[in-house]
Amino acid sequence: MSMRTITFLQPRRLTFGPGCITDCTAYIAALGKPRVHIVSSPSMTTVINTLRVSLQELGCKVTFDLSVTAEPTISMFEKALAYARAAGPTCVLGIGGGSPLDVAKLIAAFTYSEQAVQETFGIGLLKSRDCHLVCIPSTSGTGSEVSPNAILLDEEAALKKGVVSTFLVPDATFIDPELTYSLPSSITASTGLDALTHCVEAYTNLFAHPLVDLYALQGITLCAKYLAMAVQDGHDIEARIGMSLVSLYGGLCLGPVNTAAVHALAYPLGGEFHLAHGLSNAILLPAVFRFNAKSTPDRHADVARALGAPAGLPDEETAALGADLLTQLAEACGLICDLGRHGVTRGDISRLARSAMTVTRLLKNNPRSIEQADAELIYHQCFLG
């Protein structure tokens, strides 16, 4: 069997399980009483205070920055970076959703670097990282806790841009599903659909690989089973564990395979209209799925069956059912997947499509070539009224 060479880059330590956040303080202290800089958001204040006290009792110096209150922009990152540089950390601890984790990863890389972040947008352009990096997710979606990616909004271009580098893979990650108990249902839904999109785009990717397929299909299966349950009851520990696994599996797919057209078309929606990333993906996923299924109906049929489609039908019919199941799952989670309900007009489509076509690092992964006219058609299909 012929296949391309693939490289998995994962945290050297990955701890998973309810309550495991308590393990991270001993791990960090064992680094030799480091200067720890915590990057997070105000919603994590209680958890951070507990960690801070524990770390200080173990002899660590602790500073913290709770300024990541939204999906991060370049200017937000630069302010956080200036604060981190003043603190002079030897270890950066990111805790929270994908936004704080992405900022923490970049701070760990840039605190002692002479590079500007704008020089590193793309793949493999970051030169080094001098701070130890620990990540603790509090949502089940981005997979940033194990991925080599970090995303910032370029405000001038009104487009999200990614830094992809081996140096952004954390040294250690602690995934505690109990931290997701307090997530509102809307965020549970949108972040869950983001994780699902990672898995779907990895499995249907032009560069899909059997090693990644294992994670991708299992993530899709678990999301179909547990996402609506987690939305309906945030304290359902079985559902929260299941969705934490979905996020982990999706994140593991990002390094070796990455995403494709859904994410490329989602970036302008986040950049210009500030739609939550997971919601943008949820809106676009069924339309892109239908578009791509024409080129690889067998792979898309596999996804559909993982979502719950019956076996025994031709691949084309099964794949079509998969798109419907994606729509139904988003609706069951209470997401409004109509671009027209989020401030976007059909007059914006041409501009959005032009912007999306610049995200070539993701579009090159798509199983079917997308041109400007195709992107415009996909956006049009996301208006339901």
For the chain, the structural domain boundaries read 13-180, 185-381
Positions in the chain whose pLDDT score sits under 50: 1
Expressed in percent and rounded to 5, the helix, strand and coil fractions of the chain are: 55, 10, 35
Q: What is the pLDDT of residue 2?
A: 56
Fold adopted by 185-381? Dehydroquinate synthase-like, alpha domain (1.20.1090)
Q: Following DSSP, what letter does each residue of 340-382 receive, concatenated? A: GGGT--GGGHHHHHHHHTT-HHHHTT-SS---HHHHHHHHHHT
Task: Name the nearest CA neighbour of 361 among 249, 154, 207.
Answer: 207
Parallel/antiparallel/unpaired status of strands 91-96 and 35-39: parallel
The span from the CA of 304 to the CA of 324, in Å, is 9
The span from the CA of 118 to the CA of 305, in Å, is 41
Q: What is the pLDDT of residue 1?
A: 47
Q: What is the CATH number of domain 13-180?
A: 3.40.50.1970
Q: What is the pLDDT of residue 4?
A: 85
Residue that has been written with the tokens 């998973």 in this structure: 16
Give 36-54 pLDDT, tens digit per residue: 999 999 999 999 999 999 9
Q: Are 167 and 210 in contact (CB under 8 A)?
A: no
Q: Are 173 and 131 in contact (CB under 8 A)?
A: no
Give SS3 for 245.
helix
The span from the CA of 199 to the CA of 325, in Å, is 15
Residue that has been written with the tokens 């937000």 in this structure: 76
The span from the CA of 135 to the CA of 8, in Å, is 18
Q: What is the pLDDT of residue 16?
A: 98
DSSP-assigned letter for residue 310? P
Give 13-32 pLDDT, tens digit per residue: 999 999 999 999 999 999 99
Question: CB within 8 A of 135, min separation 6: which ones?
Answer: 11, 93, 94, 95, 101, 104, 105, 144, 145, 146, 170, 172, 173, 174
CA 259 from chain centre, in angstroms, equals: 10
